[in-house]
A and B are shown apart, each in its own frame.
Chain A
Amino acid sequence: DTEVTQTPKHLVMGMTNKKSLKCEQHMGHRAMYWYKQKAKKPPELMFVYSYEKLSINESVPSRFSPECPNSSLLNLHLHALQPEDSALYLCASSQVYETGGYEQYFGPGTRLTVT
């Protein structure tokens, strides 16, 4: 099973709403990632979890709050977003580099529109 799943596929939210994006993988990967991707741009790394601990936060605004409840799940909590936060949000997972096998497997993404 090389699948990473994400829900929801599409999300429209107002600037005062609170919502959460969910990601799940069952490949036994201990590294999980959140990326943001704007149209015609490469993915931008937001957060990295390694062994369920936040290891990288790429200076992301506090209106984005990640959570890793267990080794298979990753959430991204959204609050008071701005229209410029509209983008495709991608979750990915990989083995941690100490064990080799660095390729990241991506989920289908959540298309987020902030109105």
Chain B
Amino acid sequence: GQNIDQPTEMTATEGAIVQINCTYQTSGFNGLFWYQQHAGEAPTFLSYNVLDGLEEKGRFSSFLSRSKGYSYLLLKELQMKDSASYLCAVMDSNYQLIWGAGTKLIIKP
């Protein structure tokens, strides 16, 4: 079967760094996506990894290891507005997104 695991909830402090992990087992792999979703709003695209390694985009970075079926999203210099759910999604062999349940990130002052 297809499975994507990520922690349900994480708490971090404003100004700090947090790493959200995602492990996956899917039928085929055409890339891994991270989306941010604020409560009651639509998901917004953060990053896309298809090759092993680190992709950096401002305060956000995403890492992929295909051999380990593992990715993480790293958020630096946390701001209160980063409080949101972070969704990991893998594009399978049919080019469809398989979604993780999401990680709710709570930022405390």
A residues at B contact (CB < 8 Å): 40-43, 45, 48, 56, 88, 90, 97, 102-109, 111
Contacts and interface: CB of A to CB of B under 8 A. Distances in A.
The binding surface of chain B is classed by DSSP as: loop
A106 B44 contact: yes
25 contacts: A41-B101, A41-B102, A42-B99, A42-B101, A42-B102, A43-B43, A45-B96, A56-B96, A88-B40, A90-B42, A97-B30, A97-B95, A102-B30, A102-B33, A102-B48, A102-B91, A103-B45, A104-B45, A105-B45, A106-B42, A106-B43, A106-B44, A107-B42, A109-B41, A111-B40
A97 B31 CA distance: 11
Interface of B: 30-31, 33, 40-45, 48, 87, 89, 91, 95-97, 99-102
B28 to A, nearest CB: 12
